[in-house]
Amino acid sequence: MADLMSKTALVTGGGTGIGFGIAAKLMEANAQVTIAGRREDVLNEAAERLDASVSSSGNIKVVCCDVTDALAVRNAVEVAANDKGVLDIAVANAGIGAGGPFLTMTDETLRSVLEVNVVGAFNTIQAAAETMRSSGGSIIAISSIAGALGGRFRAAYASSKAALDMLVRSAADELGGFGIRINSIRPGVVESEATAMMFEHMPHIIDDYKKNMPLGRVGEPEEVGDAVVWLAGSGSSWVTGQNIAVDGGHTLRRAPDLEPAIRARMGDEEYSKLSKPGSGPNG
């Protein structure tokens, strides 16, 4: 485990799921962590849980922030920085998902996903990088295997994560001269609040995920956090511009089959109007 003593870190979307796991691991590595999100009650509850579980002695702060608001993100960076204005680590984790047939997807859905997952990450990376120009630092964006695998019924989400990965690569190329390292992590399916419905009501889809993972199991938020800690520390000092899969090997195979869930949601009759026979992942 890297030692991030005296390092300051900002985690957007840090109140739940993967963001919570990332914050916990950063705190275990002795970083001073600020979690950001839109819901103050969720953030405060998360901070209490983190403080108790990690025994951090108050080594956690919270700040309300909508990542699509550039000024709010800059304020979050200021809150997370130390008294000298230094922010060492920024994790652009906040994101949303959307799934459904391409022919029924609206431009409003596409815009909303891109606004949070791409523009929100851009705001976070830019604000953090501005602060890091004089001292260097590490920025990690949380992408998804969807950005590499794509997949049916995931056009908006997969496109947003592919764009995020390229944003990371471009920013890393441009900002390396300031000693700023920028990478992304592509998690596979992780059991969290965001995926709870799928785990509870769609076990066949979870089974399909597992079937396409060489390690044969889903991930935990803290396992993504371990990868973040590595990218934040000195052990990755020569790593930048990379999109790193933390997915049990899922990207070695294929995207999950979401057809049963979409068919159940729409009904057989409506679904049949949008999909030709034999067009599924297994032909």
Domain with residue 87: its CATH number is 3.40.50.720
List the strands of the sheet with 243-246, edge to edge.
60-64, 32-37, 8-12, 89-92, 137-142, 180-187, 243-246
Beta partners for residue 142, in sequence order? 185
Instruction: Single out the catalytic residue among 157, 161, 181, 246.
Output: 157
Using CA atoms, how far residue 10 sits from 63, 76, 181, 215, in Å, is: 10, 8, 15, 31
pLDDT of residue 194: 83
Would 280 be classed as within a structural domain? Answer: no
Residue (of 99, 138, 143, 98) closest to 118 by Cα position: 143
How far apart (Å, rounded) are the C-alpha atoms in residues 139 and 116? 17
The single residue listed with the structure tokens 């979409």 is 262
Q: What is the pLDDT of residues 172-199, one digit of tens each?
A: 999 999 999 999 999 999 998 888 888 9
209 has catalytic annotation: no
For the chain, list the strands marked E by DSSP. Answer: 8-12, 32-37, 60-64, 89-92, 137-142, 180-187, 243-246
Beta partners for residue 138, in sequence order? 89, 181
- Total domains, the chain: 1
Report the mean per-residue pLDDT for the chain: 94
Q: What is the pLDDT of residues 73-120, one digit of tens each?
A: 999 999 999 999 999 999 999 999 988 999 999 999 999 999 999 999
Would 282 be classed as within a structural domain? Answer: no
The single residue listed with the structure tokens 């992590």 is 185
Would 281 be classed as within a structural domain? Answer: no
Would 276 be classed as within a structural domain? Answer: no
SS3 36: strand
Would 91 be classed as within a structural domain? Answer: yes
Would 131 be classed as within a structural domain? Answer: yes
How far apart (Å, rounded) are the C-alpha atoms in residues 247 and 87? 29
pLDDT band (50, 70, 90) for residue 275 = confident
Asked if the model's pLDDT at residue 58 lies above 80, the reply is no
- Would you say the C-alpha torsion 242, 126, 36, 230 has a positive or negative sign? positive
Domain hosting 229: range is 8-270
Would 154 be classed as within a structural domain? Answer: yes
> In sequence order, what are the residues at sequence separation of 6 or more whose Cβ sits closer than 8 angstroms to the Cβ of residue 19?
11, 12, 13, 35, 37, 91, 93, 94, 142, 221
Would 71 be classed as within a structural domain? Answer: yes
